[in-house]
Amino acid sequence: MIITRTPLRISLGGGGTDLPSYSNVYGGMVISAAINRYMFISLNKSFGDDYQLKYSRLERAKTIDEIEHPIIREALTRHFVPPGIEIVSVADIPSGTGLGTSGSFTVGLLRALTTWRRDFATPDSLALEACNIEIESLGRPVGKQDQYIAAFGGLAVMDFNVYGGVRVSPLRISGETLADLESNLVMYFTGYARDADLILSEQKTKTEAKDDTMIEGLHAIKKLGMETKEALEAGDTDRFGEIMNRHWLQKKERSSAMSNPRIDHYYETALANGALGGKLVGAGAGGFLLFYTKNQSSLRAAMAAEGLQEVPFGFDFGGSTVLVRD
**Claim to verify: residue 229 and residue 303 sit in the same structural domain:** yes
Distances (CA, A) of 180 to 103, 128, 174, 287: 27, 32, 10, 24
Q: Which range among 101-110, 160-169, 200-209, 289-298 shows the weakest confidence by mean pLDDT?
A: 200-209
pLDDT at 205: 87
Instruction: Indicate the burial class of 213 (C-beta count within 10 angstroms; 0-12, 13-18, 19 or more).
Output: exposed
**Claim to verify: residue 65 and residue 191 sit in the same structural domain:** no
Q: Give CA–CA dist 32/7, Å, rounded.
A: 12
The mean pLDDT of the chain is 94
**Claim to verify: residue 139 and residue 190 sit in the same structural domain:** no
User: In the structure, what pLDDT confidence band is assigned to residue 2 with cuts at 50, 70 and 90?
Assistant: very high
**Claim to verify: residue 179 and residue 294 sit in the same structural domain:** yes
As a whole number, mean pLDDT of residues 50-59 equals: 96
**Claim to verify: residue 198 and residue 303 sit in the same structural domain:** yes
pLDDT at 88: 98
pLDDT at 215: 94
Q: Give CA–CA dist 282/264, Å, rounded.
A: 16
pLDDT at 195: 62
Write out pLDDT tens, residues 212-251. Answer: 999 999 999 999 999 999 999 999 999 999 999 999 999 8
Statement: residue 196 has pLDDT above 70: no
89 within 8 A of 39, measured Cβ to Cβ: yes
**Claim to verify: residue 320 and residue 251 sit in the same structural domain:** no
pLDDT at 251: 86
**Claim to verify: residue 160 and residue 23 sit in the same structural domain:** yes
Write out pLDDT tens, residues 294-306. Answer: 999 999 999 999 9
**Claim to verify: residue 51 and residue 185 sit in the same structural domain:** no
**Claim to verify: residue 59 and residue 21 sit in the same structural domain:** yes
**Claim to verify: residue 189 and residue 282 sit in the same structural domain:** yes
Whole-number percent of the chain with pLDDT over 90: 85
Statement: residue 285 has pLDDT above 90: no
CATH code of the domain in which 149 resides: 3.30.230.10
pLDDT at 320: 98
Task: Tell me the residue range of the domain where 252 lies.
Answer: 175-310
141 within 8 A of 203, measured Cβ to Cβ: yes
pLDDT at 307: 95
Which tops the pLDDT comparison, 198 or 64? Answer: 64
Q: Which range among 75-79, 168-172, 201-205, 310-314 shows the weakest confidence by mean pLDDT?
A: 201-205
Q: Give CA–CA dist 313/301, Å, rounded.
A: 18
**Claim to verify: residue 24 and residue 154 sit in the same structural domain:** yes
Which tops the pLDDT comparison, 238 or 252? Answer: 238
Statement: residue 259 has pLDDT above 90: no
**Claim to verify: residue 94 and residue 119 sit in the same structural domain:** yes
Nearest to 156 by CA among 94, 255, 96, 232: 232
User: In the structure, what pLDDT confidence band is assigned to residue 192 with cuts at 50, 70 and 90?
Assistant: low
Q: Which range among 92-106, 124-138, 194-208, 304-318 shows the weakest confidence by mean pLDDT?
A: 194-208
Residue 284 backbone zone (phi > 0: left; psi -120 to 50: alpha; other: beta): left
pLDDT at 239: 98
CATH code of the domain in which 208 resides: 3.30.70.890
Instruction: Indicate the burial class of 45 (C-beta count within 10 angstroms; 0-12, 13-18, 19 or more).
Output: exposed
Q: Give CA–CA dist 263/273, Å, rounded.
A: 15
User: In the structure, what pLDDT confidence band is assigned to residue 197 with cuts at 50, 70 and 90?
Assistant: low
Tally of domains within the chain: 2
pLDDT at 255: 75
